[in-house]
Amino acid sequence: MEKDQQDFVHLTLQTKQVMVEDSWHSIQIHRPEVVIEAIQQLLNKEI
């Protein structure tokens, strides 16, 4: 699965992959602070 994810990262130059330890498939439930931080970075164009 990780290989498939890496393939998606290279589709554009505006993509960033974030690997989060101690998270499951539903990261928005298990680590919502990481999702919030990524959205904030996107809105601030830091990604």
Query: Can you tell me which residue has the tokens 């539903």?
Result: 26
Enumerate the H helices of the chain as residue ranges.
Answer: 2-9, 27-30, 32-43
**Polymer length of the chain:** 47
Query: Can you tell me which residue has the tokens 């994810």?
Result: 5
In the chain, domain spans: 2-43
pTM: 0.64
pLDDT band at 3 (very low <50, low <70, confident <90, very high): low
Paired tokens of 11:
């589709």
CB hemisphere CA count around 19 (13 angstroms): 7
Instruction: Give pLDDT tens digits for 11-40.
Output: 777 777 888 888 878 899 989 999 999 999
